[in-house]
Amino acid sequence: MHERLRGVRVVSFDVDGTLTDKKFVDAVWLRGIPEIYAETHDTSFEDALKMVMSAYEEVGENSIEWYLIDYWLRRFQLDVSYEKIFERFKHEIRVYPEVEGVLQELSAAGYELIVCSNAAREFINVQIADVKHYFSRIFSAVSDFRQVKKSNGFYLRVCEILKVKPQEVVHVGDHWVFDFLNPRKVGINAFFLDRRDERCGTFVIKSLEELLDILRPG
Ligand SMILES: [Mg+2]
């Protein structure tokens, strides 16, 4: 049983590992791209994978390019649209089972629901297509603010845009720094989603269903 939070207006969700699992994203980067690379450059999948992985590493997750699929398609000279690749792996998208019910209840209770992800917008859009109608706004650190991580500044900008105080926002996500420590630093009521049940603490939840307890009306 959690303590009920009062005065919350906005509930914010991370995407990868929070609303959806990571299979689709992995399939695009670690199967789709190397497969097309192998076809295009007439090499084996193994060689293509090595080549692609070393390029990913060289750029690294602190560069904005890391997140931009069009950059990679150009760099590897792959004559295919990202939409085509997404289409091919769409069946790998899996929204966690409790998500829809939780979004439904929170929105019926009057909360404004938003997404705060560091993924690029095209990934977010395809991954949450089935539940997108629950969200009033979708913020992508990379696409909207050219930031590679959800920093304190990112969260403050989101509050500014929504015209709410950080104290009126709940954020939940599965990254200890970018979904928990950073939003907490600016006064957001952040919760760490620990689906693997490894941590415990007042602000750790194991499933999004626990939000219904934290945000229960009355
Ligand atoms: Mg995540």
pLDDT in tens, 171-215: 999 999 999 999 999 999 999 999 998 988 889 999 999 999 999
pLDDT at residue 218, as a whole number: 66
Please give all residues whose CB falls under 5 A of ion ligand 1, grouped by chain where several chains appear.
Answer: 14, 16-17, 174
Q: Cα(174) to centroid of ligand 1, in Å? A: 5
pLDDT in tens, 116-152: 999 999 999 999 999 999 999 999 999 999 998 889 9
**Residue in 183, 65, 162, 55 with CA at minimum distance from that of residue 112:** 162
Amino acid identity of residue 119, one-letter, is: A
Question: d(Cα 96, Cα 212) in Å, to the nearest integer?
Answer: 16
For all residues of the chain together, what is the average pLDDT?
96
Question: d(Cα 63, Cα 147) in Å, to the nearest integer?
Answer: 9
Whether residue 73 has pLDDT greater than 70? yes
**Residue in 218, 217, 196 with CA at minimum distance from that of residue 206:** 196
Q: Cα(17) to centroid of ligand 1, in Å? A: 5
**Rounded-to-10 torsion of CA 120, 122, 126, 129:** 90
The mean per-residue pLDDT over the stretch 31-60 comes to 97
**In the chain, beta strands by DSSP E:** 10-13, 112-117, 137-140, 169-173, 189-193, 204-205
The mean per-residue pLDDT over the stretch 104-121 comes to 97
Q: Cα(173) to centroid of ligand 1, in Å? A: 6
Whether residue 1 has pLDDT greater than 80? no
The mean per-residue pLDDT over the stretch 92-115 comes to 97
Domain ranges of the chain: 10-21+94-214, 23-92
Residue range 10-21+94-214, CATH number: 3.40.50.1000
